[in-house]
């Protein structure tokens, strides 16, 4: 797991905040895509599904870029990918920073 210094360093990093917000937008895109699948199954046009997939793919690209930029800016030794992924997901579903609870 990340130590407090790495967490604080990530919380102050603009790339990390970009990744967190992009993943939040990705959740919305995924929800729209799922709604598009439901609407498509009822015989409607695939536009809602297409919009959701496009939002999701764009969010994935921005999230990955922010994630790797912020990891690159951390001092050595850098934390592992899994601990950073867990922190990223944690920060996206919690409004308050994970640092404030540590």
Residue 102 has pLDDT above 50, yes or no: no
Give the pLDDT band (50/70/90) at residue 4: low
Q: What is the pLDDT of residues 11-37, one digit of tens each?
A: 777 888 899 999 999 999 999 999 999
The residue that leads in pLDDT, 61 or 17, is 61
Q: Which two tokens stand for residue 7?
A: 């967490």
pLDDT, average across residues 67-87: 85
């Amino acid at each position: 797991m990340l130590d407090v210094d790495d967490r604080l360093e990530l919380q102050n990093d603009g790339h990390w905040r970009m990744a967190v917000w992009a993943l939040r937008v990705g959740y919305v895109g995924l929800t729209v895509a799922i709604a598009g699948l439901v609407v498509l199954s009822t015989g409607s046009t695939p536009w809602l599904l297409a919009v959701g997939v496009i939002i999701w793919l764009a969010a994935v690209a921005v999230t990955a870029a922010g994630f790797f930029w912020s990891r690159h800016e951390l001092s050595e030794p850098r934390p592992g990918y899994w601990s950073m992924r867990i922190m990223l997901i944690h920060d996206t579903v919690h409004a308050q920073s994970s640092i404030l609870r540590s």
